[in-house]
Structure 1
Amino acid sequence: MGFVRLMTGDIAPEKLGFTYAHEHIVCRPGHWLERKEEDLLLDDPEKSRQEVAAAKACGVETLVDATAIDYGRDPQAVYDISMRTGMQVIGTAGFNKGFLWDAKMPGENRTYEEWIEGSSVDELTEFVIREVNVGMQETGIKGGQVKFGTGYNSISPLEIKTLRAACRAHLATGAPVHSHTEAGTMALEQLRYLREEGVDPHNVSFGHMDRNPDTYMHLKLADTGAFLCFDGIAKVKYNPESIRIRCILELAKRGYQKQILVSGDTARRSYYHSYSYAVGLPYIKETWAPRLQEEAEHAGINGEQLVQDIFVNNPRECFTFKKVSG
């Protein structure tokens, strides 16, 4: 029997409930901290608690906190928010993407880039395994997925290292895998390395698919069995909601309804109501999901079932630990 690993402990997949598949709750990325980019610092746990409580009050039951160590992760703060609000939270082991790695590692006189460059793939793999099986940043709070990421239209040698480490940690632990694709690029190219490492794409969710609203690419990716995460909801500066919904409905029409995830990737103060009076975390559940259901019905698709799959059934399948062979 599989399980989902929350920050607060393991649960049966059936208890996951209505789930946002990619969020950020507390993060202080060194790259942005050193540049004094305040909008990219979610550094007030009380404001984050207020936001999470509002999401819980409107019916969201689980958040996937996709903040990796190189994005200023604070597992203890997020654990405390989970305990105080009752929101179930899945934490993230592994890494984000290369251009952030110029920042100094906390408490050390070296950058993330120097750490990754100076470590073997096996050493990085052991680090990720420890984050899943023992705990993140010496807290005892375990990661519920492993993450890697690549740059915009590029994959660097160091990103290949962390990609391989995440894949090998997945094979050793059964933890689901999440891929960061910068602006929705390089997902198909990442598949080469997943295959080399023996990873079944059905155990991988690819983020930021709505940043690259290319249905051809989406269908090729879906053909592999992978999950596609449309995690830019409410970010109209990138694409209007009509574009996102059109891509999602096209996947549903082609038979890939069971492979779609949705979230907001709220990694800026200007996305949080508690920081800036923006629409915040409740928006997807209260406003966007009903719109998706309505537009699905107009397209001849069962909208109620589509919403149920995207927010309940698909996360249950995606975030369940798989049996480790051998």
Structure 2
Amino acid sequence: MSTTPHPTERLLQTVTGPLPARSVPGPALAHEHLVLDLDRKGDGAAVLDAQRHGPAVTRELAALREEFGLGLVIELTCRGMGRDPDTLARIARESGVAVVAATGWYYEPFHPAADLDGAGVEQLTDTLVQEIDAGLDGTGIRPGVLGEVGSHGETPTEPESRSLRAAARAALATGLSVATHAQLGHGGLAQLDLLTAEGLPPERLCIGHQDLLAEPAVHRRLAEAGAYVAFDTVGKESYQSDEVRLRLLLALLEAGHADRVLLSCDISRHGYLLTEGGQGYGHLFRSFLPAVRSAGVDDDLIDLMTRRNPLRFLTGAGPEEF
């Protein structure tokens, strides 16, 4: 399919340049990490290193493109998480899978002191807008989303509130959307209230890790408000069983909110890679979605959740598009 945009074409900002959203041929992974460093214990577990693990990541994505038509990865490694835009661009080129990079701040334990200490919301907003306009870390590679902007607990801490508010303001200034990290699924409603209070339309917001929160009423409230609800830790059985995830997802679908669902695996340590015996980025396609189909969900709804919804989230497109 041609990538020459129509004058009114909605574009994704990927690590290899602008891409017409309609040219994404298949499903997306809505919340992943391809390179990151969250190592706080010194054991190197919460790491995806460019040199040691990058080739395996590339091979996994290329295989998923061939087997399932994987067309897009939304990569939510932001400031303070070991972000590496050049490696993301190389993985995208070598795998043939488009990658959208991110800016923003994770939750407070991972806030870089140089960024957050003493910085007000306006200063933080300026930092984000500059990265969105000029590129990440001096590379010229521009982000296409704000995220995973984080909080932990039922309400954000003061620094988390500043970073979330800055993300909302930067999103409004640049036209990007915001994906959040809600630690273990908690605090999503508070994130929704804070971000929308800054003027961010709920349809430009995705609340993260809701499959870790076994509270269907919260999922419904988020969806009814118009926000996207991320079931994005699929396969992380040590946090939540996929059996429970499936039950929670079916409840949200039965409530009529398939158009608010985003799905992914949130691969965040090298032990999750196939080469190391983990479930890999393809667990969603190889294991979870077959279970969803077996529960009676048809292919149109699966396409909605895995392709159309991610494109609408990133671009702000309406339900009639894609």
Structure 1 CA distance for aligned equivalents of residues 272 and 144 of structure 2: 25
State the match for 1:107 in structure 2.
Answer: none
Aligned residues: 304
Structure 1 SS opposite 2:265: coil
Residue number among 73, 80, 103 corresponding to 1:63 in the alignment: 73
Structure 2 CA distance for aligned equivalents of residues 280 and 273 of structure 1: 5
Q: Does residue 1:171 correspond to 2:172, yes or no?
A: yes
- Letter in structure 2 aligned against 1:160: S
Structure 2 CA distance for aligned equivalents of residues 76 and 245 of structure 1: 36
- Letter in structure 2 aligned against 1:257: A
- Letter in structure 2 aligned against 1:86: G
Structure 2 CA distance for aligned equivalents of residues 240 and 209 of structure 1: 13
Q: Does residue 1:181 correspond to 2:182, yes or no?
A: yes
State the match for 2:119 in structure 1.
Answer: 119
- Letter in structure 2 aligned against 1:125: T
Structure 2 CA distance for aligned equivalents of residues 117 and 154 of structure 1: 20
1:322 is displaced (CA, Å) by: 7.1
| Post-superposition CA distance 1:143-170 (Å, at most 9, x none) | 1101221013341111111111100000
Q: Does residue 1:15 correspond to 2:6, yes or no?
A: no
Aligned residues of 1:39 and 1:270 also touching (Cα < 8 A): yes
- Letter in structure 2 aligned against 1:4: L
Structure 2 SS opposite 1:39: coil
Structure 2 SS opposite 1:152: coil
Residue number among 293, 297, 314 corresponding to 2:309 in the alignment: 314
- Letter in structure 2 aligned against 1:73: R
- Letter in structure 2 aligned against 1:39: A
- Letter in structure 2 aligned against 1:3: L
Superposed, 1:40-51 pairs within 5 Å as 40-43=46-49, 44=52, 45-51=54-60
1:3 is displaced (CA, Å) by: 1.8
Distance 1:49 1:135, change over 3 A: same
Structure 1 CA distance for aligned equivalents of residues 134 and 316 of structure 2: 15
State the match for 1:303 in structure 2.
Answer: 298
- Letter in structure 2 aligned against 1:184: G
Percentage of pairs with the same residue: 27
State the match for 1:140 in structure 2.
Answer: 140
- Letter in structure 2 aligned against 1:133: D
State the match for 2:294 in structure 1.
Answer: 294
Residue number among 87, 90, 95 corresponding to 1:77 in the alignment: 87
Higher RCO structure, 1 or 2 (CA under 8 Å, sep 6+) = 1
Q: CA RMSD in A?
A: 1.6
| Post-superposition CA distance 1:273-302 (Å, at most 9, x none) | 13x12221122112221221111x1xxxx4
Q: Does residue 1:39 correspond to 2:45, yes or no?
A: yes
Aligned residues of 2:80 and 2:106 also touching (Cα < 8 A): yes
TM-score when normalising by structure 2: 0.90
1:28 is displaced (CA, Å) by: 2.0
State the match for 2:236 in structure 1.
Answer: 235
State the match for 1:27 in structure 2.
Answer: 36
Deviates more, 1:187-196 or 1:175-184: 187-196
Structure 2 CA distance for aligned equivalents of residues 195 and 304 of structure 1: 33
Aligned residues of 2:230 and 2:262 also touching (Cα < 8 A): yes
